[in-house]
C-alpha cells in the first residue's frame, strides 16, 4: 500500500535534513540537491505507485509532502507566502507528484496491453 512508501520517503527526507537546509549554495548545488531528492525520496515514495488506488485525501497528503520537501530544498517557509507554482518554476519542475503517478499508471497500462494473455498481471487486471 502507499502508506509504507509515504513514511519511508518522509523519513529519508528527514535524515538528510542538514543538507536540504544549507543556505548560500550555488545553482549547481541546488540542482544536485534536487537530483538527490528525485533519486532518494521520490523513488522511495513512488515505488509500485502504478498499482495504487488513491482517494482525494491521500492525493492531498502526497501533495503536502512534495511541497514540504520542495520548500525545504528551496529554503523558504510557508510564512514567506510563496505560491506552489512559484516553487515549481524556481526549481524547474514541470509536473507534480500526482501527475507522475498518472504517468506511471499509463506506462504500466501500455505494458499490460502488450503482454501475452497467459501472464499473471494481465489475468489479474482483466478479472
Percent of the chain residues topping a pLDDT of 90: 29
In a domain, 118, yes or no: no
- Write the pLDDT tens digit of every residue in 39-94: 889 999 999 888 888 899 999 999 999 999 999 888 888 899 999 999 999 888 89
Percent of the chain residues topping a pLDDT of 70: 91
In a domain, 32, yes or no: yes
The angle at the Cα of 91, spanning 7 to 27, to the nearest 5 degrees, equals 115
In a domain, 66, yes or no: yes
pTM of the model as a whole: 0.80
Give the pLDDT band of residue 25 (cuts 50, 70, 90). low
Q: Where is average pLDDT lowest: 23-32, 66-75, 105-114?
A: 23-32
Q: How many domains is the chain partitioned into structurally?
A: 1
In a domain, 60, yes or no: yes
Q: Which residues contact 70 (CB under 8 A, 6 or more apart)?
A: 37, 87, 88, 91, 93
The rounded radius of gyration (Å) of the Cα atoms in the chain is: 17
> Whole-number mean pLDDT of the chain?
85
Tell me the residue range of the domain where 17 lies: 2-97
Between 111 and 101, residue with greater pLDDT: 101
Amino acid at each position: 500500500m502507499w502508506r509504507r512508501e509515504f513514511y519511508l520517503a518522509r523519513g529519508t527526507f528527514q535524515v538528510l535534513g542538514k543538507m536540504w537546509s544549507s543556505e548560500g549554495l550555488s545553482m549547481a548545488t541546488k540542482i544536485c540537491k534536487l537530483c538527490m531528492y528525485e533519486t532518494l525520496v521520490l523513488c522511495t515514495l513512488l515505488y509500485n505507485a502504478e498499482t495504487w488506488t488513491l482517494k482525494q485525501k491521500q492525493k492531498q497528503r502526497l501533495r503536502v509532502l512534495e511541497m514540504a520537501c520542495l520548500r525545504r530544498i528551496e529554503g523558504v517557509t510557508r510564512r514567506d507566502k510563496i505560491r506552489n507554482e512559484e516553487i515549481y518554476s524556481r526549481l524547474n519542475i514541470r509536473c507534480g507528484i500526482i501527475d507522475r503517478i498518472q504517468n506511471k499508471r499509463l506506462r504500466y497500462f501500455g505494458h499490460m496491453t502488450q503482454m501475452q494473455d497467459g501472464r499473471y498481471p494481465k489475468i489479474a487486471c482483466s478479472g
